[in-house]
Amino acid sequence: MKLVIEKLPDLRALYIKQLRSLLSAEEEILRGLPILAELATDTQLKQALESHLKETEIQAQRLRGILTQIAGEAQPLTSRAVMALIDEAEDMVQGCSHDAVRDAALIASAQRIEHYEIAAYGAVGHFARVLGRESDVGALGQTIDEEEHADRLLTSVAARVNPAAKKAA
């Protein structure tokens, strides 16, 4: 339970708060993704996670630029949602004794994170549009495209990994 509630007098304030939360989320992903990639045994999955790590660095930089422009600073605001998703992924993976099952768990966990990001970026993108911040709309839309691409790539890897996980004994 939070004891102090931050005042959000208008959409601009909410937009900034959500951007700060997304920056925290991206920073958490930057810390967690290398661990998940290291645990992957499927080569294509490992490459997908490592490639998305590079995209995540760019996405965090985009958010820093938007925040600096609108708020004068790029201060993250703790994103408990992504921290929880990463913790859940680590817990789930530790319980897997077969490589294919572990990879299936990694894919499912990574997709949960991607889906959270797609939803969050979609919301702030709409805020940006309403606020008339068209350059932000473009930058946020580019990030959504990257997140959706990562999700599709994970789905294609899952199409091969999940049947192998089914056969695990």
Per-residue pLDDT at 136: 98
Please tell me the predicted confidence (pLDDT) of residue 1. 44
- What is the pTM for the complete model shown? 0.93
Which residues of the chain are under the pLDDT cut of 50? 1, 3
CB atoms within 10 A of CB 5: 6
> Left if phi > 0, otherwise alpha if psi is -120 to 50, otherwise beta: which for 28?
alpha
Instruction: Give the domains, in start order, of the chain with CATH numbers.
Output: 11-166 (1.20.1260.10)
| Amino acid in the structure at residue 33 | L
Return the closest-CA partner of residue 40 out of 6, 90, 77, 4: 90
Please report, in angstroms and rounded to a whole number, the separation of the first and last CA atoms in the chain: 43
